[in-house]
Amino acid sequence: MLRLLGNNDLYARSGGGKWLKVLAVFIFALVIVAGGLFASNYKHFSNLIKVITLVRTQYLVPVNTTLLVDGAIKGIVNSLNDPYSVYLDPQTFSQLQDQIKGSFGGLGILVGVKEQYLTVVRAYSGTPAAKKGIVAGDIITHINDSDAKGLELETAINLMRGPVGSAIKLTVSRQGAPEPLHFELVREEINVPTVEGHVLPGSNIGYVAISQFTERTAEEMRETLNTLQGERVKGLILDLRDNPGGELIAAVNVAKNFIPKGPIVYIDYRLGRDQEFPSEGRTIQLPLVVLINGGSASAAEILAGAVKDTGAGTLVGGKTFGKGIVQTVFPLDNGAGLKLTTARYLTPLRNDIHQKGVEPDFTVQPLDDWSRDSQLDRAIELMQQKIAG
């Protein structure tokens, strides 16, 4: 294999073959994965070896071979052009793994992605973020001195979580501020409800907002719905705007309240059978209007897509984000990991919403000055018609 270098001088000047043995193992692994493709792409493999060799032997300063191999791995994953598939270096992967151990906290902010940057949608009152002065609209440019641009939303959220009492640094760009703002925050146990509901003033319409889907969401939803039904509401407006998603099972369990008997969502794998998550029949027999926008993503789109396909309610607002794929995290050697897209969501009618989103039944643009909520106003109008009809 090393003969493909075509330059014996490089081998001699490298100081021997010890580091090339490491490289050979890496290339051998690529060949095994590529299978029969190697025969038709051997020149590309040859170029890979040559580039690493040239950098290793001719670059101005010495470069660690491990660094080069890591760079090659990142390049393989980046070549997929999938922002949700990521090579996780040992430090990042360790931070993600820490979540499953002990008691962990967060900062109390809801974030979304806008033009490749993490943008604060809401800072919950009384949380570390709100206490330090982080506000909606702030753009998070760095997490612990690492560039946050292009960081996949779920990975970014996981990185901002951590052990209660541990510190984290955020760098924020704020409109009107001449310089970046630097915050050092201490994580706390965050118990902000993911579901908030009340009866709209002067009406018999229940309003329920879901900020994200977590382990607690389905139970919080049941409690909220029980309270609203006790107040004899005649219709429900469900607000999924700027909901970045979360846990699949939580979204499915919430959907069971509203979706008639049949599929809620399919998980479509490249290999093997699709997995179906069904509803046994809706438990809430009330007219439903659902608010969505470009910040409604992933698990929120599962619920919105199920509502639309089954006719369980009416969608109002803007087209959703369009994240309809599933990621699996695989541990690698040396403490690293790989987060890889392994499946996609399909709606009950088997529509693929990835990079397409879910279209509302009634498109309503928000007002620029936010003096009133035009989307909610339209939802109330439609609900009043449903109740009257």
Q: Which residues have a catalytic role annotated?
A: 298, 309, 323
Residue 143: which H helix or E strand, with range? strand 139-143
**Coil vs helix vs strand at 367:** coil
**Coil vs helix vs strand at 267:** strand
d(CA 334, CA 92): 12
Longest CA–CA span in the chain (Å) reads 87
Would you list the DSSP string of 305-347? HHHHHHTSSEEEES------EEEEEEE-GGG-EEEEEEEEEE-
Angle 183-370-153 (CA atoms, 0-180°, nearest 5)?
Answer: 45
CB 340 within 8 A of CB 287: no
CB 118 within 8 A of CB 139: yes
Which of 342, 367, 345, 362 is CA-nearest to residue 354? 345
**Distance (Å) of CA 102 to CA 95, 107, 165, 185:** 13, 17, 12, 20
d(CA 94, CA 166): 15
Q: Pairing between strand 235-239 and 205-210?
A: parallel
d(CA 32, CA 25): 11
Distance of CA 354 to the CA centre of its chain: 13
CB 324 within 8 A of CB 344: yes
**Distance (Å) of CA 129 to CA 120, 155, 185:** 10, 19, 7
d(CA 1, CA 28): 9
